[in-house]
Amino acid sequence: MILTVDVGNTRIKAAVFEENTALGNFVFEKNEFEKEIEKILKKFPDCSDLVIASVGNIEKQSFLAFENKLNIHFLTHEDVFPFINKYATPKTLGIDRMVLAAGATLQFPKQNRLVIDAGTCITYDFIDENDHYLGGAISPGLRLRYESLHNFTARLPLLTLEAPEHYIGDSTKQAIHSGVVNGFVYEIDGFIDEYRANFSNFIIILTGGDTDFLAKRLKNTIFANSNFLLESLNQTFQYKIDND
């Protein structure tokens, strides 16, 4: 069994896999890391490998505390991936984006793929049908948009995510919800339309913490999977084993 761990900017997600079957999924705060990993290992004592993709700020030593129980693997830019990286600054490409690109390449062969990860930031990653990673875009996620409106103005309140009642906001609260949510959706649909206009044989993969909220609001047909990064992490590790 393989325990995959995604250390994000706000939370940690984890999953246990038996080959390509997920046996359990977990989400917890960073300050609960060691306690939650211990609980997972008690539930799945046959885990042999811990595979980590990290963009967050947890110390590497925290993972090494488990090296007497598991083989520990930190995915890095030096590992083998199933695509050719055409990014102009390849060493600056986040390992989470590389894992998502790998998963898209392995799960959807011989297609143009756009992976949209809606979390703290929203990232767009494009891998063409020849398995060339070409790049994408990065913009603020939903939570960052709410926080920015509050933090960089004098009077706007800090709101949490809520579906707007109407696209015409009839109060400051509803105007913020309309601007943040509808603006976010229009951005995603606009990017998808641009890619569709330039590439055929195309699939869009939506993932990240806001997947379920967004999926039903987009006009474009997408493949929505909030656990796509963890699945991709497992598949990338299997690919690494087979190709090292």
Closest CA to 162 of 149, 135, 143: 143
> The tokens of 242 are what?
């087979």
Point out the domain boundary residue: 74, 92, 121: 74
Q: Residue 203 CB: number of other CB atoms within 10 A?
A: 15
pLDDT (0 to 100) of residue 197: 93
243 within domain boundaries: no
Same structural domain, 148 and 45: no
**124 and 30, same domain (yes or no):** no
pLDDT at 136 over 70: yes
Whether 241 is covered by a domain: the verdict is no
Nearest residue to 84 via CA among 74, 93, 72, 96? 93
Residues 6+ apart with CB under 8 A from 228: 100, 103, 115, 205, 207
pLDDT for res 128:
97
229 and 148 co-located in one domain: yes
The range of the structural domain enclosing residue 56 comes to: 2-74
pLDDT of res. 55: 65
Q: Are residues 62 and 90 in the same domain?
A: no
Report the mean per-residue pLDDT for the chain.
90
Residues 97 and 207 in one domain: yes
What pLDDT is attached to residue 221? 74
24 domain residue, yes or no: yes
pTM: 0.90
The tens digit of pLDDT for each residue in 78-132 reads 899 999 999 999 999 999 999 999 999 999 999 999 999 998 899 999 999 999 9
Residues 152 and 31 in one domain: no
Number of domains in the chain: 2
Specify if 187 maps to a domain.
yes
Same domain, 122 and 212: yes
Q: Are residues 200 and 218 in the same domain?
A: yes
**Per-residue pLDDT tens for 36-95?**
888 998 999 889 889 988 766 676 777 777 888 888 888 888 899 999 999 999 999 999
CATH number at residue 206: 3.30.420.40
Of 48, 74, 100, which residue constitutes the final position of a domain?
Answer: 74
pLDDT class of 182 with cuts at 50, 70, 90: very high
pLDDT tens-digit map of 219-243: 877 889 988 999 999 999 999 888 8
What's the burial of 59, exposed, middle or buried (CB within 10 Å: 0-12/13-18/19+)? exposed
In this structure, the answer to whether residues 96 and 215 fall within a common structural domain is yes
Residue 96 is among the residues annotated as catalytic for this protein: yes
**123 contacts 97 by C-beta, under 8 angstroms:** yes
Among 31, 51, 74, the domain boundary falls at 74
Give the active site residue among 96, 117, 125, 210: 96
